[in-house]
A and B are shown apart, each in its own frame.
Chain A
């Protein structure tokens, strides 16, 4: 019997090396948990598919240990969000329109992980095309929160967060466009990293909003999220927005000393649950007293406009990215009378309501006569936000915020789209500015007799992921 909740990547690697258990034995344990919790028992529904060649993958990984070519990630059981392509396997972004689509190439992140010899357990449920904050927009049912199955796991990477939280995978990959890694990580009580925009290749990630999307890791510990990031990061000729990471090289001067808090924003209209705020204040106190960090108030004059900027730019990019799903090139198709009818029926009937809402909204804000008022204006405010952050980072090394204003909400609770969007208020800014951010479990609050996790978010300057890991690891020892 292997204690899955105690495992980290490093510990697992040691166990493999010492022969305490084999890759196959570990994979069997995960298979058992998935078997017992995912479609039966609690019916978490984190997985869209568990791959059928796990034994073969385990065997190949084990051979690397036997012949001495194993690396730290060899044999590590990992699962990926349903919008990250693995060649020859199905990938559907939890949408009917991509049902039965089989990937014809590997995402760059997958290629890198394959080189390390990881075991891919399966693909994970998500909001359709990553649009949502609860996985309720998946065409294949909601992913429930392992801490309280009447509540959502968060989203859009809800399957990725729930899989780790229920011990159904050691680590997972997700994608974050406006909080889609950090919010579910916060709701499920695990670590979620959104790297710097451009530090991880988007090649092979089914696009949502291309100026905001980034792939990142979800794990039980900051250390594990860091190890995965170091494997998947890097400049990639297949993604021209990837950057040379050497410009962010670590040095002693990067050591975190001061943490900035945008107080005005927290006091304002963010709709924050007072218990979440209390937990945040307690975390800051621990960081100050036991972590010896200096806590400093900072001003980010436009941060309260982030959500409005996001809900203009994101749907604009969504509406153009979603144009490729036309029933011609791949995926499913619903026949119409003529070619236009094929388009209308395929897209109208196979895309979900939230996806269609964002396409319509994006089409509107980009249309002639409105694009200046909405799209161009939003870009101008986005640039102001970027310079606000640059200025703030001259004063402090890192910025802290709660991850989400509330704990995991009830399934079906947020039926109004705008109410759902407000859950993103603390996360979207890092996507708009491209800064790296991480959510780390900071405690629990009791709601209806259940202990619900709360997350603490750190945001660092571009390419300074190392600072997030440093503070994250420190916080894990004092929380």
Chain B
């Protein structure tokens, strides 16, 4: 794995990394991947298929909302930047 691969993954994950960090991850992430490569030797057939898992989605009706605005103040208080009851971010589109 090249340093540019780590940089690409970091950008996808929205992480700014220092040169030292890129250097470090480009060494130890391939080691971890080499370790998990042992999974390739496991024969997985029907039994191991995901659709045979007992996991299932659990849904509920979208009902009984709490009173509007009940938690707004408490939640907004936790945001680094707010204005007029909204969370404020920098604009995403240039003029």
Binding site for B on A (CB under 8 A): 101-102, 104-105, 237, 240-241, 302, 305, 307-309, 311-312, 319, 323, 326-333, 338-340, 342-345, 347-349, 351, 353, 356-357, 359-361, 363-364, 367, 373-374, 376-381, 383-384, 386-387, 416-418, 421
Contacts and interface: CB of A to CB of B under 8 A. Distances in A.
Contact of B35 (A105, A353, A376, A418): A418
Contact of A305 (B6, B16, B39, B47): B39
| 6 pairs of A and B residues whose beta carbons are closest in the complex | A348-B16, A380-B48, A333-B80, A380-B44, A240-B58, A330-B78
B68 to A, nearest CB: 16
A349 B92 CA distance: 22
Interface in B18-52: 21, 24-25, 28-29, 31-33, 35-40, 42, 44, 47-50, 52
A309 B6 contact: no
Nearest to B6: A360
A309 B35 CA distance: 10
A251 B6 CA distance: 54
Given A327-B80, A330-B79, A347-B14, A379 B71 contact: no
Interface string B48-71: 111011100011100000000001
6 contacts: A241-B58, A308-B37, A328-B79, A344-B15, A347-B13, A381-B44
Contacts of A241: 58
Nearest to A301: B42
Contacts of B38: 305, 308
B80 A339 contact: no
B50 A308 contact: no
Interface of B: 6, 9-17, 21, 24-25, 28-29, 31-33, 35-40, 42, 44, 47-50, 52-54, 58-60, 71, 74-75, 77-81, 87, 89-92
B29 A364 contact: yes
Interface residue SS majority, chain A: helix
A361 B42 contact: no
A359 B13 contact: yes
A381 B32 contact: no
A84 B25 CA distance: 30
A343 B14 contact: yes
A237 B58 CA distance: 11
Contacts of A367: 9, 12
Contact of B15 (A104, A332, A356, A377): A356
Contacts of A237: 60
A356 B47 contact: no
A378 B42 CA distance: 10
A380 B53 CA distance: 9
A104 B75 contact: yes
B2 to A, nearest CB: 13
A360 B25 contact: yes
Nearest to B44: A380
Given A342-B90, A360-B10, A380 B17 contact: no
A311 B79 contact: no
Contacts of A101: 78
B58 to A, nearest CB: 4
Given A383-B53, A384-B42, A357 B29 contact: yes
A417 B16 contact: no
Contacts of A361: 29, 32-33
Nearest to B59: A240
Given A361-B29, A364-B9, A377 B44 contact: yes
Contacts of B60: 237, 240
Contact of B12 (A332, A338, A363): A363
Contacts of A357: 25, 28-29
A339 B87 contact: no
Given A331-B80, A342-B90, A384 B47 contact: yes
A376 B12 CA distance: 21
A402 B3 CA distance: 39
B15 A348 contact: yes
* B47, B52, B89 interface centre (most CB from chain A within 10 Å): B89
A360 B71 contact: no
Contact of B32 (A376, A380, A418): A418
A308 B35 contact: yes
A311 B74 contact: no
Nearest to B50: A379
